[in-house]
Structures are given as structure tokens and as C-alpha cells.
Structure 1
Amino acid sequence: MPGHTFGDRLREARKLAGITQSDLAARSGVSLSMIRKIEQGSRESRLETARRLASALDIPTTRLLATEPPESTPPVDHDRWAELVAAVSAPGPGDVEEEPTPAGVSSALNSAVDLYVRGRFTDLATLLPALVRDSTALADTSLQMRVLQLAGRLMTQVRLYEPASTAFDRADRLVPDTLHGASMANNRCWLLLRSGRLQEASDLAARWAVELEPRLSTATNGELSAWGAVLLRVAATAARDSRPDDAQHALRLATAAGAMMRPGGAGEARTAGFYRGFSSVTVAMQRAERAMVEDRPDEVLRLADRIGALRLAPTVNSRNRHLLDVANAQVRTRQYGEATETLLRVERDAPQWLGHQRYARDIVQAMTERRRKLTPEMRRLARTIHLPM
């Protein structure tokens, strides 16, 4: 598209489609006033709005987005993460007070992974810098890679995208085999997607999905988990790029991968670095996420009833993210009390994680805009996700 801004590209695409701003508002569900502001350049658009507009115009989202518009998120506490950023950016081990051992670093890494899974980011800010330095001082490249991978994932969570990319770059150089390489690619896809580089994320996920496709009859749990996890990234990027057929195809393949896994597959995958734990449950959650991206809240709630996420362990990367889709669907269907309860459950289980989620902020903002009066619980959620009131 020849336009230089999102507004330029939207206006040109709309004109090529032969429709007015009012027509586009009716087709997309985006308000006429917002469309006018976007085309005038006085309003940025988030990815979900861009997807709805692109879907209404029957074009890929990436034709409207040069890059995803910057997130209007709470400011990053750079002071809190300065030591970790310095440790990841440093080429050497730095000043290590005591000679580290593989057993000690491995034990500390296991503790750090547990903190990450439980969303204990403040504790990780204290633990990880020394762990990065200690692992760098060792000759054990596997431990170095896993520590850097975790550091990159944490910094992606707290929106330190450039240092996260540096951590993944360092870890990439230590990858011992294809399965670990797939794990790193999966992390990289997530970073690209979260930082708004939709086309790059889509291309990377698709390339690895082809690279990893196994013979299902003989595939190991690790191979199935690696392939399935990348397929979920393919589905996520395709849904956001208004390519529903591609998203559905990837989910069908991921379903097949999950069905072929033997008991114990999550443990094998974790060894290869898949902290997310690919399974048939995560495939179902991705189906719900796709339904939410495509603005089908009733389908999200139907799928959520079958998944029963509240019965699952409150892990950061699957269950809690899925519950945000549930809360969003509840807001879209005007079930504000239920949405509040869902978000309060996530806040109780992972308050530090919730405070870093732009998605949660959007959900609470939508709820507060639709309600004439906020309950004390809604106000508490607004404080947790740093929503200006």
C-alpha cells in the first residue's frame, strides 16, 4: 500500500473497496468516530482494531500495518530490570564472587522456572541477573542456553523487547539440536508477535512448521510437542492476519499432534525447553483465542466451558492467558460481574503477571467505558493493571 501511515493505508484500502467510512464502521464494528480519527492521523490503532478493519475490507491485516502501532501500556520500570538487562547484554560472566557449579546453577534455574510459571516477576528480577552471570561462567552451554531463554521470555513479558531479543540471540548460538532450535523459534515468534512484527512472526512460524513436520506414526513426544507448539504460533499469527483458513488448517494439524502424544509428553517437552507444555488442552485454548480474535465471544464461552480452565493449575502461559479471553468474551456479552470475577481469579493467582498484560488493560478499559458505575472490585482491577481513572 502506498500510504505512509496506518490512516493513509486504511483510507486507500477503503476507497479501493468502494465503501464509505460509515459502511466500514457498520461492517467492522469499529465506531465511525474512531475510523475518522485513524484516517485523520489523530488516533493510533491497536492490533485487534486493525484486524477487525482488515477483515471488513477482506484484506490481510499486514496490508494495513507497516508495524503494529505502539502499545499504550503502563510504563516499564527500567530501574527494576536494569541489572538483568546488563547481565544479558554483557559478553562475559562479569564479577562472579564464588565459583559456580553446574549442580548449583541447575538447581537455581529450576527455582527460577517455577517463579516464572507462577508469575513471580519481582523475585525473578533479583534472582536472574546472578544466574545469567553464573551460567555464562560455566562451560555447560546447555545451562547457558536455558537461562538465557528464560531471561528472554521474562523480558518479553515485561515488554523489554530489545534486551529479550539479545537474550534469544545469545541462546540461539548455543542451540544443540533441532528440538531446542524449535523451542527458541517459538519464543522468538512470541516476541515478534507481542512487539507488533506480525509478518515476521508469521513467516518464522510457518518456516518452522514445515521444518518440523514429523511422520506421525513414529514421532516422539518431543517432536510432536515441538511441531504442535509452532503450529499454535502459525494459528495465532494467521488469525490476527485475517487468514482464517490458514488458522483453521494449523489448528487441525495441532489437534492431530496432540492426539498422538503419549502420557508424559509434557515432561519430555519441558526438557527441550517448552515451558508452555503443548497438549490437546493448549490446542483447545488456541481455538478459543482464535474465536476471540475473530470477535466470536459466544464461541469463546462455549469452548471455555469445555476446557474448564479454573480446574487447571494457574500457569502463566496457558491457563491465565486463556482466562483473559474468557473475561473479554464476558465483557463483549455484557456479563460484567462474571468478567470481574474471572479477572479477580487471575489477579489472585498471578498479580504481578496480570499487571504487565496490555490485553488485561484493554479488557478492563472496555468494561469501565460500558459501565455507568464501577464496583470496588472493578476499581481494584483498574489499579492492578495501571489503568488511569
Structure 2
Amino acid sequence: MIGFSIAVFLRQKDTLNLYGGRTLAVSQRRGERRKMTIIKWTGIEVAALRTALRDTQVQFADRIGCSIESVGKWERRGADITLGAKYSECMDTARRRLDDEQRARFEAALDQDQRKASADVFPRPAGDPTGCSRSPMVMIRPSGGASDGSRRGSGDDSISTLRRLLMGCIPDTPPVKEAEMAAAVAGTWDLFFSARLGEMERTLPAVLAGAYSAAEESTGERRRRVHILLAQLLHASANLLGYVAHADLAALALARADALAAESGDELTQAAIKGSQSWILAKSGLYDNAAAYAEVAAVGIEPRLSTATPRHMAIWGELLCYAAFAASRTGDYGEARRFLRLCESAGTQLEDDYGTRPEASNVFGRTSAASFGVINEVSANRPREALKLASVISGGDTGIPPTLQSRRLINVAHAQIGSRDDAGAVDTLRRACSMAPEFVGHIPLAHELTNELMNRRSRLQASGLLGVADHLGSSIRA
């Protein structure tokens, strides 16, 4: 076993944790700050108290007189765990000692959770195919003019339809067969990796509606298999939504996918989904949470290198990449390098050809550690080291999908700009745009780098840079 320590930093603002069941007695008078009495301490209140104190888990464990493993367990399990009398008393004491500012943070954290719970963002009825837990899902069955899901309207129409589907408004659509669902999963991910996001956006609503209908009518072992396929479709939907600036819907799709995979007992599918949940947290700036989420998921499926299947290694490696990315964003470059060394171990177990990858959602390969290393070294202000890793990428995997390769090229351009190779950066950005023109427009870093180069364009071949700027719709022309 390759072992590494677990460091859990899941906090109350982590929108992917489905907290619930908190018991509070709240009294409030007009013009006065509320006073909360904690009737029972669960992992939710523990996380809020640590947030209020701004403690690390190590500091908090020392303050309370418990182990760091206990703190991690309480926060991971949330409302599903209730502290015993000894530690509840310790929490009461720590809470009484809060100053006004700390108490305000504590109450704000608990209020935030209460608002999330009352909003029913993640509904789950008994028998709901999504397996999410809260109030019943509304199944809309129009009496007339039922949509067959084939309408191809604007992008906004498609996103609105996806929103309604994810919120539980399922049209009366004929169920698809299991084989058709499996083909739809492969086809949907192919659209994503081929950078055909517009086509993917238009086709997803009909595909999801048919899959939901199939899940609703299935039973037994077939129901389990259909749930796994539905989880994979929701996973694909989340990746699209995350790139087209709908992170809230992406988080919702991933929460539903995660619940389905857990209910179905498919550990590896669930782990792959958790990788994307870490990515969404990072996109929201919650880097500590993102690193912890990916690390815990990686530990949960840690393989034996001598016996693990290629699918197992690929999913584990992808989780380590997400953990490294988030760690680098927190400024912990050494920790990111540690994750990336483990990525290299996983990559050596896989073939070079991406065309034979064992998981439709996964693009992890032998050069993935180097590609994420580029990001880490640029963040650490080591552009020359980043460019050395970039040269490793070009000599590795074959058949890399356009979305992945174009994203890698944008990171290389970032390193080139840091090394003052502006002309090289322009050429790299042009290659990224030609490789995946629709996809590159959704990458904020591509816009940032182009705008930076536009301010230096007197030293560049203006025609090439202007072509990139025109493609991205850059607002800088002076």
C-alpha cells in the first residue's frame, strides 16, 4: 500500500455536504442578537465552532483534548454523529469562551446551514431515483404538449431545461433501454472531450429525461445498474455546467450523482464523482476544502499497485491530481508535489493511449502528473521548472482528447509568459484555440493571458495575437 495521512478540512460553507438534523433552541427579540442553545452537539456544530475559532484541526483537537482523527470523523459525518457527554461538555465550555466576533461567526455558520436545509436544494423522496435526502421531488407530468426532449433551442433554453430536470421537474418521457443509456453515457462524454459543448448542451435534456424515466420504473438489479448509468450522465452534465459558468447546477448534479453511486454500491464511480466535486469546490475558491475532499476520496480507494485494475488506477490518479491542484492554490507547493509523486506511480501502471482509457469520465494518463506539475510550478513562481515539465508532456500519451490538450496548452502558455517568452505564448494559445475553439472560450485563464499579452503586443507579431483575442472576444485593443 502507498500510504499518506488524511487531513480533513471540510467546513460549513462546503456546499457539497448534505448536512441535516441539527437541533437548536433559538430565541430572538427585535433589535437583539439571537442567543442559541445547543441541545445536542453533532459534527455540524463542531465544524461551526472550529470555523468560529479559526482553528486548524490540530489546534482544535488540542483545545478540546481529543485526537485529530476524532475531529475529522465528527466533521465528515456531520449530523449523522452525536457527541457523548464528555466531549459535549468540552464543546459547551469552548463555546462559552467565544468573544463577540467569534460567537457571530459561529451563529452565522449555523444559520447558513439552516438556510440550506430549508431551501430543499437537494430533495430526496422515498423511491426517488436520485437517492438524495430531503423533501419529496416534484415529478411534473404535463397534461398536454409533453416535451419529448428533442427541442433544440438556444443555449439558455437548454440550461433552463437542465435546471428543471435537476430540481426534479421530469417531463413525461418514454424510458430508454439500459443499452441505450450505456451508449448515451459514452456518447455524452465523447462530446465533452471532443470540445463539442454546444451539441452536448442541446442533447443532454432529452437523454437525462429518458434516463430518469428508466430509473423510475426499474427494480432489483436492473435498478442498480440504471442508477449507476444515471449517475454517470449526471456526472457528465456537471462537467459541462461547471465550464459554462453554472457551478451551482454542477454542484447539484454532482450531489445527485454521488447519492446514486453510493446507493448502488459502486465505489469507483462514486470516487470519480468526488473528483469533480473537488474541482467545483476549487472553482468556488474553497481550496482547503477541495484538497481535503479529493485526498479523503483517494485514501478511500487507495489501490495495491500490483493488483489494481486500470480503471482503479486511473480514478485514483485523477483524485490525486485534483488534490495537488487545490494544494497548489493554497500555496502548499510541497504538498502538491507529494501528491504528484503519487500520481506518477499511478501513471506508470497505465498505457500511453488515451483511446483505451478504462473510464469514460477519466482522462488521467502517464503525463498527468507533469501537466498538473506545470500548474504547481507556475503558482510557485518557478516558470522554468514548469517549462521543463511541459516538455515531458509532449513526449507522452497519444490520443489525448482536445479538451484536455487545449487546457494543458493554456497552462504551458502561462509558464511561457512567466519566462518572458511572449511570442511562444502567443503561438501556444493559437494552437489551443485551433484545437478546441469552443472549449477554450470557457477557460478564464485563456482570457487573462490574452489580455496580458495584448498590453505587451508592441513586442509581438500582432496578427497572431489579434486572432486569439478576436476568437476569445477580448475587450483589450489598445
Q: Could you say which TM-score interval applies, normalised by the shorter chain?
A: 0.7 to 0.9
Equivalent residue, structure 1, for 2:288:
199
Question: Which stretches in structure 1 are left out of the alignment for 5+ residues?
Answer: 1-76
Q: 1:170 to 1:382 in 2, by over 3 A?
A: same
Work out which structure has the larger RCO, using CA pairs closer than 8 Å and 6 or more positions apart in sequence.
1
Query: Is residue 161 of structure 1 aligned with residue 247 of structure 2?
Result: yes
Paired position in structure 1 for 2:172 = 95
2:163 matches 1:86: yes
Question: Are 2:194 and 2:401, in contact at CA under 8 Å, matched by a contact in 1?
Answer: yes
Question: Which amino acid in 2 is paired with 1:227?
Answer: W
Distance in 2 separating the partners of 1:381 and 1:306: 26
CA–CA distance in 1 between the matches of 2:175 and 2:381? Answer: 54
1:222-371 map, 5 Å? 222-261=311-350, 267=356, 269-270=358-359, 275-308=361-394, 312-313=398-399, 315-371=401-457
From the CA coordinates, give the structure whose radius of gyration is larger.
Answer: 2
Q: 1:365 to 1:311 in 2, by over 3 A?
A: farther
Residue in 2 that maps onto 1:107:
183
Cα deviation for residue 241 of structure 1 reads 1.0
Contact 1:304/1:326 (CA < 8 Å) preserved in 2?
Answer: yes
Alpha-carbon distance, 1:117 to partner: 0.5
Local SS of the residue matching 1:356? coil
Using the TM superposition, give the Cα deviation of residue 81 of structure 1 relative to its aligned residue in structure 2, in angstroms.
Answer: 4.2
1:283-327 Cα deviation digits (max 9, x unpaired): 121122211222222222222222217984452453221111111
Report if aligned partners of 1:109, 1:131 keep a CA contact under 8 Å in 2: no
Deviates more, 1:175-184 or 1:331-340: 331-340
TM-score normalised according to structure 1 size = 0.73
Give the TM-score normalised by the residue count of structure 2. 0.60
- Encode CA deviations 1:180-219: one digit per residue, 9 max, x unaligned: 1110110101111112111210121121222222232332
Show the counterpart of 1:33.
Answer: none
Q: 2:411, 2:332 → 1: CA distance?
A: 20
More helix by share: 1
| Distance in 2 of aligned mates of 1:263 and 1:364 | 32
| Letter of the 2:431 counterpart | R
Q: Which moved more, 1:159-168 or 1:172-181?
A: 172-181
Taking the aligned partners of 1:377 and 1:166, their CA distance within structure 2 comes to 40
SS at match of 2:257: helix
Per the TM alignment, residue 168 of structure 1 is displaced from its structure 2 partner at its CA by 0.7
Q: Supply the distance in 2 between the matched residues of 1:361 and 1:309 (Cα, whole angstroms).
A: 27
Q: Retained in 2: the 8 A contact 1:119–1:352?
A: yes
Residue 28 of structure 1 is matched in structure 2 by none
Query: Structure 1, residues 322-357: CA drift from partner, whole Å, max 9, x if none?
Result: 111111122222322222221111111211101111
With 162-171 and 226-235 compared, the bigger mean Cα shift is at: 226-235
Identity level (%):
26
Give 1:178's aligned residue.
267
- Name structure 2 gaps, 5 residues minimum: 1-153, 216-225
Please tell me the residue identity of whatever aligns with 1:379: L
Decide whether aligned partners of structure 1 residues 316 and 185 sit closer, same or farther in structure 2, where only a CA change above 3 A counts.
farther
For residue 256 of structure 2, give the secondary structure of its aligned residue in structure 1.
helix
Q: Is the 8 A contact 2:406 2:432 kept in 1?
A: yes
